[in-house]
Structure 1
């Protein structure tokens, strides 16, 4: 099972900082759910724990979970009359492509589901 404390360590968050615990727990549960659903299995195998942590790190860094507004980056600046334009810095299709980055690892554990 993935642990919030280990994910904090991997993200460089101080262990005593509990302000992001709910967000990290949500991310961990989301990743586990995605892996289980994709692989058609009942629980996360120990062989996929490192992959799941990498997926959780990617989600945390790219999805801006826990903020009302998504992350934005400056796309252009004008100095005369000071104009600044922002664009989303997050790939809007990130959630759809998250599994694709890890398919080779996940396919080793994938089972055929008959419906």
Structure 2
């Protein structure tokens, strides 16, 4: 997964490897816990890669982080404002499952066995 993420983000050195690996571990843990699975399928691996890319992209490009969550909606002259964070991102920001992430992951969820 590390090499795929670096390829997508056009990273050719190992400067960001530790941070990418940290986010991979965090997101993988959240996905495995949410889906109640022990092994990752190809679809879940792809989801995790995409999630880490979206977390890392602002850090690599120096831009701001868009969480994808809608902050406000105006109807007159139509204005939709997205929740955008600061350019500096700590290791906990972005490494959460949004409601749209959970909606996507529902297809992979398994019943919890006790």
Q: Are the counterparts in 1 of residues 23 and 95 from structure 2 also a CA contact under 8 Å?
A: no
Correspondence for 2:6: 8
RMSD: 3.0
Correspondence for 1:89: 86
TM-score by length of 1: 0.61
Matches within 5 A, 1:19-38: 19-38=15-34
**Structure 1 moving runs of 4+ over 4 Å:** 90-96
How many correspondences in the alignment? 89
The structure having more radius of gyration, on CA atoms, is 1
CA displacement at 1:101 relative to structure 2:
2.6
Correspondence for 2:76: none
Q: Which sections of structure 1, spanning at least 5 residues, go unmatched?
A: 65-70, 72-87
Q: Are the counterparts in 2 of residues 4 and 25 from structure 1 also a CA contact under 8 Å?
A: yes
TM-score by length of 2: 0.62
CA displacement at 1:57 relative to structure 2:
1.3
